[in-house]
Chains A and B, each alone.
Chain A
Amino acid sequence: MDVEILARIQFAFTIAFHYIYPPLSIGLGLVMVVFESLYIRTKNKEYHVLAKFWTKIFALTFGIGVVTGIVMEFEFGTNWAVYSRYVGDIFGSALAAEGIFAFALESGFLGVLLFGWNRVKPWVHLVSTIGVFLGSMFSAIWIVVANSWQQTPAGYHIVGEGFNARAEITDFWAMVFNPSSVDRILYVWLGAFLAGAFLILSVHAYYILKGRFVLISKKAFKLTLVVATVFSLGQLVTGHSSAEGVAKNQPAKLAAMEGHFDASAPADMYLLGWVDKENQEVTGLKIPGGLSFLMDYDFETPVTGLNAFPEEDRPSQLNAVFQFYHIMIAIGMFLIALSVYACFQWWRGKLFDKRWLLWTFVFTAFLPQIANQVGWFAAEMGRQPWVVYGLLRTSDAFSQAVSANQVLFSLILFMVVYTLLFLLFVYLLNKKIKHGPYDDTEESDRPLTKEITGVLTGN
């Protein structure tokens, strides 16, 4: 295998692994802020227990997120030197801004969040939790800005030619608020909230099913269900506006996502399907003119198709882009259906009576994770063959000084280390969940009788 493909595999592998963790940190952070604020307002000790419990799980995800993130920051230079020189002006400043404004905030308060429960006043601790949460949100902003600039470059001009060509900033705010930034930031944030919320729902549903920590779990479940419902519905809005942006700014990507070949014709929307690249056909279940309708509220509006672009400017992995995009949409719809249905049952007062519903929640924890992953796959593979859309090709961007053997060495190293890391993560997460929300020291005074009464009376 040549250096380019190895470097791409390594980047894809390390970024996909990394992206398991930051969304969890953001999502868990949000709910931790909710729990802790409620504790300060109501002085109800249960919220304190919940905040502490989820902080411990947060600690597990956060640590892995940080170190796998440092890998990403180095990898631009090690494996994508040409790219780094080309975009350093822009991408570099976004990364530096992330470090200064987001990462420092996050990690500065992290120590107090994790170890400061007995050292600072409750409100100072809450401020620290909020600091960490905001830090992780800001972090997402700058990273998505950097990536969005690769999708829809703005606020720059190209200086120099050939090898010396590079993009320089002409307008910083135009670069930051490039056409796709805002939509994609909101989309990523909501995806992260869902990842955190559905993990919390999953764990507490499990406790309720097993009859452990029932009272406190019901409380946590209801609160988090509100979060999950609001944001899964919200994802419809941000997702739609994101797709409109793609249609306008990256028509080749949108065409790949829906397998739309005709240069200019009304486009269908597929619920599921299979793309045959050779014959330029999609077989599957479709809404005729659906894509046209979504873009323009008219089933007849022509949409630019793949054939409007020269072969070398189209994404090569059409079926993959199509499938990833559709899996993401399907999961999004399922999450809406599930959370709205659960709210309906809650309103009927039967939320915790349906065991199958709770079991569904237990396993749904994986779905937002999968959606986040495949969503990024679709976004990044749909941008190909460009690393910076319309400006720099991926095949021109990798490090010339690095040999295939070196990349193979590091790729194997990362695979071994990350596999180990993942197994440990799963093991420890499982252990923490099995142990439950109460500290050993608090075990004695936990309101067992209250819980039993709770179960009996169905509260």
Chain B
Amino acid sequence: METFLGLDYPTWWFLVIGALFSGYAILDGFDFGAGAWHLFFKKEHSRRVALNAVGPVWDGNEVWLVIGGGALFAGFPVMYATLFSSLYVPFMLFLVCIIFRAISIEFRGKEEMAWWRKTWDIGYSVSSTLLAFLLGVVLGNVLQGIAIGPQYQYQGAGFFEFLNPYALMTGITTLALFMVHGAIYLLLKTEGRLFAKLTLLLKKSMIFFIISFGITTLYTLLYIPHLSDAFKSNPILFGVPVATFFCIANVPRLANKGQYRNAFFFSCVTISLLLTLVAIELYPTLLFSTVDPKYSIDVYNAAASTKTLRIMMVMVAIGGPLVLGYTYFVYKTFRGKVTLDETSY
């Protein structure tokens, strides 16, 4: 198989998609998190400030989902097709929530009536919460494996099979992680009483996250042995979970000192390290078959042709810096605390 800098193309593409998904989780993670907190703010002004903290950036954040989805489609068509058709119901719910969230953000400020705003506040918050949860549920199903039979066909049939105990745990953990992340983001964007309230909420959510993360980790180690194989065979990799724990611990430490910028940096690093852990646990598999390991989907049987992967690498090399450039530009323009004007939501 052809290689580039010592790695074969499917592996490169695995890394690229991992990086895209990390970027997506970091970016949409804080705005889902911020949305999940929305109903905790009681005053109209607080809600507007919180909404406008994500106002100029949420749409750009969702682009990472589109790019990630396209990259998965192009790089690993088999994985894209099997994953999406197997987890049909959660993905459909995810799409409906994406739509509800967008229209809630968009339409909330268009009318003055209290009931109107309240309706969209609920829509925004509930959909943000469900989105974070559903992302975790999908992740849980991927980690645990699903019933794939011959020809990459999913053999499960139930409507709610995706809601198994492990997926619930990863769903809740993801929600908790995004709420921590979102709270820190909002701390960077707010002032006054809302800011003070958020410092308390951050503490609570941090505890909630650590407990749910601990339980999920324990369950993984005890009941899903295939996920720790990579660590057993290659002890150097053990450095990654260690680094992850230090990063997690660093977030409340920095937050207590009031260094929210640094805390936000470390919550970003935490998210990408957690996804690195996922990547190590999976590779080279993408989706475990619970029917028979020989039906599992891995980076090799799922990959597009080497030619396509190479073309896509060129696209990423050209497009990646551009995407980072636009992202930098928009965040730089809207840096600092939120100020409301007539164009705000």
Contacts and interface: CB of A to CB of B under 8 A. Distances in A.
A446 to B, nearest CB: 15
Given A74-B84, A107-B59, A119-B333, A92 B304 contact: yes
A91 B305 contact: no
Contact of B329 (A66, A76, A112): A112
Given A92-B304, A96-B73, 14 more contacts: A70-B65, A70-B66, A81-B85, A85-B152, A92-B73, A100-B70, A101-B315, A111-B59, A117-B343, A119-B334, A120-B333, A168-B308, A169-B308, A400-B85
A95 B57 CA distance: 22
Interface in B43-74: 55-57, 59-60, 62-63, 65-67, 69-74
20 contacts: A66-B102, A76-B84, A84-B81, A85-B81, A88-B80, A88-B81, A89-B304, A92-B308, A93-B311, A96-B73, A99-B67, A103-B63, A108-B327, A111-B333, A112-B56, A115-B344, A166-B77, A401-B88, A402-B88, A428-B107
Nearest to B92: A410
B312 A93 contact: yes
Interface stretch (B153-161, B199-207, B217-225, B229-237): B153-161
B342 A108 contact: no
Contacts of B319: 97, 100-101, 104
Contacts of A78: 84-85, 88, 91-92
A407 to B, nearest CB: 8
Interface in B310-345: 311-312, 315-316, 319-320, 322-323, 325-327, 329-330, 333-334, 341-344
A406 interface: yes
Contact of A85 (B77, B106, B329): B77
Given A118-B343, A172-B311, A73 B66 contact: yes
Contact of B55 (A97, A115, A410): A115
B85 A79 contact: yes
Nearest to B325: A108
Contacts of A97: 70, 315, 319
B60 A100 contact: no
Contacts of A111: 55-57, 59-60, 330, 333-334
Contacts of B78: 85, 88
Nearest to A421: B103
Interface residues of A, number: 78
Nearest to B151: A163
Contacts of B55: 111, 115
A64 B95 CA distance: 13
A158 to B, nearest CB: 12
Contact of A96 (B70, B85, B326): B70
A144 to B, nearest CB: 16
Contacts of B77: 84-85, 87-89, 92, 166
Contact of B107 (A70, A87, A410, A424): A424
A226 interface: no
Contact of B341 (A59, A109, A118, A421): A118
A431 interface: yes
B99 interface: yes
Given A77-B73, A107-B60, A100 B315 contact: yes
A256 B105 CA distance: 45
A85 B301 CA distance: 11
- At the interface, is chain A mostly helix, strand, loop or mixed? helix
Given A114-B343, A428-B110, A402 B69 contact: no
Interface in A52-72: 59-60, 63-64, 66-71
B269 interface: no
A68 B102 CA distance: 10
Given A85-B78, A169-B311, A98 B70 contact: yes
A166 B152 CA distance: 14
Contacts of A77: 73, 80-81, 83-85, 91
B102 A59 contact: no
B70 to A, nearest CB: 3
A172 B315 CA distance: 12
B82 interface: yes
Interface string B88-106: 1101101110111011011
Nearest to B75: A92
B69 A74 contact: yes
Task: Sort A-B residue pairs by CB-CB distance and give the 10 closest, nearest first.
Answer: A88-B77, A108-B326, A77-B84, A92-B74, A111-B56, A100-B319, A96-B70, A92-B73, A99-B67, A401-B154
B216 interface: no
Interface string A102-139: 01111111111011111110000000000100000000
